[in-house]
Amino acid sequence: MVKKIFAFVVVFVMASGLSYAQQSSSTSEEGMAFEHGSVAEIFAIAKAQNKYIFVDCFADWCGPCKWMAANVFPQKEVGEFYNANFVSYKFDMEKGEGPDFAKQYNVTSYPRYLYFSPDGELVHMSGGSKEAEKFIQDGMNALNPEMTLYGLQTKYESGDRSPQTLMNYANALWNANQKGNQAIGEEYLRTQDESELTSADNWQMIERFVWNVDGREFKYLEANKATFASLYGEKEVSQKINNTYINHFFTSKDFEAYAEYVEKLDINNNWGALNEHAWNMYEGTDNKDLLKMAAKWAKRSMELEQNYYNTDTYASILYKLGEYKESEKYADLAIELAKKNNQKYDGTLELKQMLKIKRKD
């Protein structure tokens, strides 16, 4: 099935991605200018101009990719920064030579942003949808040897364990969705006294890297919730605490506690949160009572805003409950919604195959 995650992220030919690149580069005369041609040609242009290279790795079905193309790339300040410092290039990872490029540079999620030196060396990466300020910061980090992902990796592997290096390296790994980011983040937090944990930098580190409900940092956050809330917002702090408990119950496979905790959350009007928790229950348990509760969440999610994701979730839960006829009905509807919005639905096709087998039994 398709996994749902919501927020509660060289010589190859580019011909297959030209239409998308042309469309994106024409959205605003003031925004980012994307070069067209083969990767070899782009790298040659960058080397001749002594410019770094920015590659936007996308897929046609990727919603966050389209959001960036429509809302961030066309902005004037983004164009001014990237056009001055980079030769920019868009590359569809699922067409033409895209799959080979994705394999070479370990592109496993979209959008993924790769930054190369003028000589063609990969120096930095990031990803995900983000506002213009953070996207520009990604580019600034790529130009600063002290802040690039691979520069920080070299410093760390050479034995540099200064708090600043640990913080920068953990954040660089997190931004690039790379393994090991939590371990480095935890290593950084161990260098901080409790009295320092309420700083803005450390709040960001807690948000990103603290997931142990029995750890020092989480216990301090709970004990000082009012202080954190006054600094960073009641909603944000409560969400972090809730997400940490939810993650704990999920990873420890305590789905009764998971369901009990979710029932106490104020999410009845949040289709994304309802769908996320329903899907997690589908993935994690075969308990019929808990699956019925998950079906209730998924159904409420569809009432709020029916889309491919929650319809597929509902169909999947119904399958586990043995309601095969209803499951097939909603699986077909999920596929219709996916086609309408140019979304992938491979997981739903797998569900259809399982339903076909059940019909033969």
Shared domain for 182 and 285, answered yes or no, is: no
Q: What is the pLDDT of residue 220?
A: 98
Query: pLDDT tens digit string along 111-154?
Result: 999 999 999 999 999 999 999 999 999 999 999 999 999 999 99
Is 319 within the bounds of a domain? yes
Whole-number percent of the chain with pLDDT over 90: 87
Query: Which regions of the chain does DSSP assign to beta strands (E)?
Result: 34-35, 52-58, 86-92, 112-116, 122-127
Shared domain for 137 and 171, answered yes or no, is: no
Q: Is 104:116 a contact under the CB 8 Å cutoff?
A: no
Cα–Cα dist 102/125, whole Å: 13
Q: Is 306:334 a contact under the CB 8 Å cutoff?
A: no
Shared domain for 23 and 137, answered yes or no, is: yes
Helix 308-320 to helix 288-304 angle (10° resolution) is 160
Is 314 within the bounds of a domain? yes
Shared domain for 76 and 110, answered yes or no, is: yes
Residue 325 above 90 pLDDT? yes
Shared domain for 131 and 166, answered yes or no, is: no
Query: pLDDT tens digit string along 14-57?
Result: 333 333 333 333 344 689 999 988 889 999 999 999 999 999 99
Both structure tokens of 75: 């902005």
Shared domain for 151 and 53, answered yes or no, is: no
Is 321 within the bounds of a domain? yes
Q: What is the pLDDT of residue 263?
A: 96
Both structure tokens of 306: 């029916």
Shared domain for 348 and 289, answered yes or no, is: yes
Query: pLDDT tens digit string along 232-256?
Result: 999 999 999 999 999 999 999 999 9
Shared domain for 132 and 153, answered yes or no, is: no
Q: What is the pLDDT of residue 37?
A: 87
Q: Give SS3 for 123.
A: strand
Q: How many domains is the chain built from?
A: 3
Q: What is the pLDDT of residue 359?
A: 80
Residue 234: CB partners within 8 Å, gap ≥ 6? none
Is 246 within the bounds of a domain? no
Residue 352 domain boundaries = 253-360
Whole-number percent of the chain with pLDDT over 70: 92
Query: Which has more pLDDT, 21 or 186?
Result: 186
Is 326 within the bounds of a domain? yes
CATH number of the structural domain spanning residue 303: 1.25.40
Shared domain for 167 and 105, answered yes or no, is: no
Q: Using pLDDT thresholds of 50, 70 and 90, give the confidence band for residue 109.
A: very high
Residue 2 above 50 pLDDT? no
pTM: 0.83
Question: At which of 155, 170, 191 does a domain end?
Answer: 191
- Whose CA is closest to 255, among 288, 224, 233? 288
Backbone phi, psi, residue 127, to 5°: 180, 180
Residue 9 above 60 pLDDT? no
Q: What is the pLDDT of residue 345?
A: 95
Geometric angle at alpha carbon 268, from 264 and 274, rounded to 5°? 90
Arithmetic mean of pLDDT over the chain:
91
Shared domain for 133 and 61, answered yes or no, is: yes
- Calculate mean pLDDT across residues 187-212: 98
Residue 4 above 80 pLDDT? no
Is 5 within the bounds of a domain? no
Residue 12 above 80 pLDDT? no
Cα–Cα dist 170/58, whole Å: 24
CATH number of the structural domain spanning residue 25: 3.40.30.10
Shared domain for 81 and 167, answered yes or no, is: no
Q: What is the pLDDT of residue 24?
A: 37
- Calculate mean pLDDT across residues 278-291: 98
Backbone phi, psi, residue 343, to 5°: -110, 155
